[in-house]
Structures are given as structure tokens and as C-alpha cells.
Amino acid sequence: MSLLSRNQQRLGLAFLLFAIPTFFITTAFIKTGGDDGLKLGNKLPMPTRKMDGIDGTSKSLSDFKKENGLIVVFSCNTCPFVVGGENFEGWEKQYAALYNRAQKGNIGFVLVNSNEAKRDGVDSMNEMIQHAKNAGYEMPYVVDTDSELANAMGAKTTPHVYAFDEKDKLIYKGSIDNSWDSKRSKDEDYLYQVMDYLDGGKKFKENSTPPRGCSIKRVKA
């Protein structure tokens, strides 16, 4: 074998060793920092844009908002951080309790599917309807066509949470809690703390936490 052929093989192997873990990080686990996207204190974007829901209606974020605010959760049908997997039980198991807490506090709560690149497959409306039925969803679950709302907010992952107060101002963005962190010293229920503030004024510590989950599947231009 020539020296050139051996070098080509080495380069090919090196590429695979880099590409394989990078692929799984991109598709299965995204952790992000920084404060890009919608800033704390910014107003609710695209409040009147209608989005089709699994119940056959078309509603806007303003329609979902209640007296004490609105919780927007970017979600999907298949991400292990939503539905659960071998190493994580999935935040979807908390959706019912979170929705009930929001209802109790007169806070709107909506799931948004922005995976436009999978709209003809696992994140189609039909699949959303079936998944919601299987998972026992009672909360609204809507389609974000062309990922426009996700782009307006700067949403990155499924799940990714945004909480707005009664004046439509962003007061929290990030994770539902810190259960993903195996090295955590204590549990932090970020979203419950936010809802305690929205309906009762109880102060909470974290206004922004890094979202963890699968990347939102946008259609590339």
C-alpha cells in the first residue's frame, strides 16, 4: 500500500472518530449557554400569529395566555429528553403536573412543535395527535410552521421553556428543572418556582438556565 493511501485511510478514520460523537451530540443532546435569542424583559413575540393545534382549532399565543401569564414549551414527539430514554426518564412525564399547576395559578400553558424539517415524518400533525393521545396530553399542542416562533424567541432545544408575565414580558427561559445534571447537589424545580412567582409573587433565583435536549429541527435555507 502506498504512503498516500495509508495517509488517506488515517484521515478517513480521524474524520469518523470526530463526526460520530459530534452527530450524536447534535441530534441527541444539546447544551447551550449564553443569552442569545429573546432577552429577559422582552415582550412576547408574534402574539397574534395563529397556529394549528391537535384539537383542530387555530389559536395564537394571546389566546393561550391567562391572567397571570403564559408558559411556552417547545417540544416534539421523539426526543429522548422529551419522551424518555435509557439514561433519562424524559420531561414529558412532568407535562401533566406542570399544566395542572399552571391551570391552578391561572397561567396559560402551551406545547409548541417547531421541528419543521420533520413535518412530513415523526413531527407531522397526525403524529402529534397520536403522540398526544398516547401520552395523555390535556394541554394545547400546536404546530409552529417554518419554525417562525422558535426563530423569533431563539429557541434551541426540545424542550426549551419560556415564561411570560401578565404584561407579556419574558421573565424566565431555559430548562424545566436540573434533573438532567447527575452532579447536582440538590434538585431545582425552575419552572415550578417561576409559576409560584407568577401567581403568588414568590421570588425565584434563576431567570435563565441553559436548555438541555435535542436540537430543534429547522429547514435549512
What is the mean pLDDT of the segment spanning 21-48?
65
Work out whether strand 170-174 and strand 160-164 pair parallel, antiparallel, or are unpaired. Answer: antiparallel
What is the mean pLDDT of the segment spanning 16-21?
38
Q: What's the pLDDT at 188?
A: 94
What is the mean pLDDT of the segment spanning 64-83?
97
| Alpha-helical regions (H) of 70-178 | 80-83, 92-104, 125-135, 148-153
pLDDT higher than threshold 50 for residue 140: yes
Give CA separation, 189 vs 31, 38, 94, 176, 193, in Å: 18, 22, 11, 7, 6
Tell me, yes or no, whether 14 lies in a domain: no
Closest CA to 158 of 85, 61, 59: 85
Tell me, yes or no, whether 72 lies in a domain: yes
Q: Considering only residues 37 and 170, tell me which one the structure prediction assigns the higher pLDDT.
A: 170
Q: What's the pLDDT at 36?
A: 67
Tell me, yes or no, whether 6 lies in a domain: no
pLDDT higher than threshold 60 for residue 17: no
pLDDT higher than threshold 80 for residue 22: no
pLDDT higher than threshold 90 for residue 156: yes
Q: What's the pLDDT at 2?
A: 45
Q: Considering only residues 33 and 188, tell me which one the structure prediction assigns the higher pLDDT.
A: 188
If one counts the domains in the chain, the total is 1
Reported as a single tens digit per residue, the pLDDT across 179-204 is: 988 888 999 999 999 999 999 999 99
Tell me, yes or no, whether 15 lies in a domain: no
Tell me, yes or no, whether 80 lies in a domain: yes
Q: Considering only residues 18 and 71, tell me which one the structure prediction assigns the higher pLDDT.
A: 71
Tell me, yes or no, whether 25 lies in a domain: no
Could you tell me the pTM of the whole model?
A: 0.84
Q: How many residues does the chain have?
A: 221
The domain that holds 173 is classified in CATH as 3.40.30.10
Reported as a single tens digit per residue, the pLDDT across 79-134 is: 999 999 888 889 999 999 999 999 999 999 999 999 999 999 999 999 999 999 99
What distance separates the 2 farthest-apart alpha carbons in the chain?
Answer: 74
Dist. CA 217–CA 28, nearest whole Å: 12
**Omega before 159 cis (within 30°)?**
yes
Tell me, yes or no, whether 46 lies in a domain: yes
What is the mean pLDDT of the segment spanning 10-16?
42
Dist. CA 1–CA 12, nearest whole Å: 16
Q: Which residue has the cell 502506498?
A: 2
76: containing domain: 32-215
Percentage, residues of the chain above pLDDT 70: 84
pLDDT band at 24 (very low <50, low <70, confident <90, very high): very low
Tell me, yes or no, whether 97 lies in a domain: yes
pLDDT higher than threshold 80 for residue 19: no
What is the mean pLDDT of the segment spanning 12-24?
39
